[in-house]
Amino acid sequence: MSLQLFIEQLLNGIQFGFMLFLMSAGLTLIFGVMGLINLAHGSFFMIGAFSASFVAGLTGNFFLAILASLILPALIGIMVEFSVIRKLYERDHLDQVLATFALILIFSEATRYIFGAFPLFLDIPNLLQGNILLPGEIVYSKYRLIIIIIGLFIALGLYFLINRTLLGIQIKAGQNDRQMIRVLGINISRLYTIVFAMGAALAGLAGALIGAIQSVEVGMGEPVLILAFVVIVIGGIGSIKGALIGALLIGVLDTMARLFLPIFFELIMETSQALSLGSSLASMSAYVLMALVLIFRPTGLFGKK
């Protein structure tokens, strides 16, 4: 295997990681601040992709589409927070899981009702089609590079927001002691709504960015949601830094396992078995990592003790 291929795969892993980060950042904040297990987070991923596809079809402008993928999920997030989620904060986790699972079904069927059962079209703009030559003869997709850059900016933005703004201080305080900040006179329900909407917008953005290279269809959010949960368990629930590190770890591990495990098994067994076993184990790699982290650090890499 050439070094170029290896670096290209590493970049693929990092890109996958940043996509997971966009999903898990919202998920971990919502869990950390409100103590809410939100299974419907994957629906916002789907809503983002569908809004982008709809707006792109209407206007032909990809950048407006991306804007829509931030705004629409945020608005729907606010509506859902007002009408359903708010009633769940004081309930136990099982009730939250049930209610947000119901939301998944409602969102999926509503989307199917509006847009039909067939996948929608969303393509990347001409400007970002094709490849770019990176230093060292590495050919890499322009669009995927843009996803990495957007992910970096979002990570920096969140870091700034959490550590340098009043809202960030309130979020951190909320994570530490929900009762206390209520007593201090901070409008907790407004804070909750903002955090929820922010999480929904990030998930929507991830959905639109990924929708352009995958298929925009009902139920597209749930597989990503499962990995996002793995990420926040690894990173430590409530920690944005943990979500970033966890997402990159999973992204790179998953990609590298897919690349190397079949090759590795081919050294010790017959080809067809090696391919099948290698790809089966590769798809388990994220969960194996999660199990290991849970054994040695039950609260996750950056979780509170």
Partner 1 sequence: MFKKSISTLIVFLLAISYVYADKVKVGMITTLSGGGSGLGIDIRDGFALAVKDEPNIEIISGDDQRKPDIAVQLADKMIQSDKVDIITGIVWSNLAMAVVPAVVNQGKFYLSPNAGPSLLAGKKCHKNYFNIAWQNDNLHEAAGGYASSAGFKNSFIIAPNYPAGKDALTGYKRYFKGSIENEVYTKLGQTDYAAEIAKIRASNADSVYFFLPGGMGIAFIKQFSQAQVDLPLVGPAFSFDQGILKAVGKAALGVKNTSQWSKDIENVENEKFVKDFRSAYGRLPSLYASQGYDTGKIIVSAMANASIKNTDAFREALKNAPSQGFKSTRGKFSFSSNHHPIQDIYVREVIEENGTLTNKLISPGLKDHSNVYVDQCKM
Check residue 288 for interaction with partner 1 (CB under 8 A): no
Check residue 125 for interaction with partner 1 (CB under 8 A): no
For partner 1, what does the binding mask look like between residues 207 and 226, x meaning CB under 8 A?
A: ---x--xxxxxxxx--x---
In this structure, the dihedral spanned by the alpha carbons of residues 105, 108, 113 and 114, taken in order and rounded to 10 degrees, is 140
Q: Which stretch binds partner 1 (CB under 8 A): 152-160, 166-174, 182-190, 251-259?
A: 251-259
Which amino acid belongs to residue 167? L
Q: How far is the CB of 269 from partner 1 (least distance, A)?
A: 15
Give whichever of 279 and 299 is closer to partner 1, judged by the CB atom: 279
Helices (H), 177-239: 178-183, 188-211, 221-235
Do the Cβ atoms of 47 and 73 come closer than 8 Å?
Answer: yes
Question: Which of positions 51-110 make contact with partner 1 (CB under 8 A)?
Answer: 108-109
Q: How far is the CB of 146 from partner 1 (least distance, A)?
A: 12
SS3 238: coil
Q: How far is the CB of 162 from partner 1 (least distance, A)?
A: 29
Q: C-alpha angle 286/290/294, rounded to 5°?
A: 175
How far does Cα 151 stand from its chain's mean position?
Answer: 11
Check residue 129 for interaction with partner 1 (CB under 8 A): yes
Check residue 126 for interaction with partner 1 (CB under 8 A): no
Report the DSSP beta bridge partners of residue 138.
134
**CA–CA dist 237, 29 (Å, integer):** 8
Q: Which stretch binds partner 1 (CB under 8 A): 73-81, 138-146, 170-178, 185-193?
A: 138-146
**CA–CA dist 176, 35 (Å, integer):** 11
Residues forming the site for partner 1 (CB under 8 A): 1-2, 4-5, 8-9, 12, 15-16, 108-109, 112, 116-121, 123-124, 129-131, 139, 141, 143-144, 210, 213-220, 223, 255, 258-259, 262, 271-272, 275-276, 279-280, 282-283
